Amino acid sequence: MDSKIKERISRRVWTYVGEGKDEEVPVERWVWGALYEDGSELHQFDEAGYFHRFAEIEMEKLKYLSIYQSDNMGKRIDIPKPEKGQIFFFYRNIKPHYDQSHFHRVFVFGTKVDGVASYMFMLPDDRMVFSNTDSIDLSLYGV
């Protein structure tokens, strides 16, 4: 394994520089990386120890978005940018009905073309649920 990748995935807290102050951000289980048409990349958690927001991605230059496990870049999903569409990525914090003491993090990502969205929900146990709507009942999957 490349030493830079090993160093990046072994770190557990990154720095976000925004709004005039530094903020520590813990690494997520699933993260994104943007590959641009020119071959350059932007990662949510970069090699220099900085956290990047999804809004920092230059969508007009994006070739594809990769969603990967922070501790294993080999486990990933690559999403090509639709020619006339957009890619999205966000989190959903779910309080399961059987345990109201904590939240489960669900990663939501996908594409939207001509007003039609395709959603992918990455569940806490790494199962994926695909849907054409954002309002599915995740309790059906034990979340």
Domain residues of the chain, as ranges?
1-81, 83-143
Within 8 A by CB and 6+ apart from 59, the residues are 81, 86, 87
C-alpha 14: how far from its chain's center?
Answer: 15
pLDDT in tens, 12-27: 555 565 665 667 777 8
Asked whether the predicted pLDDT for residue 36 surpasses 70, the reply is: yes
Within 8 A by CB and 6+ apart from 49, the residues are 11, 14, 15
The predicted pLDDT at position 13 comes to 52
Q: In the structure, what pLDDT confidence band is assigned to residue 1 with cuts at 50, 70 and 90?
A: very low
- Strands of 30-36's sheet, edge to edge? 41-43, 30-36, 62-69, 72-80
Asked whether the predicted pLDDT for residue 142 surpasses 80, the reply is: no
Q: Phi first, then psi: what are they for 92, rounded to 5°? A: -130, 125
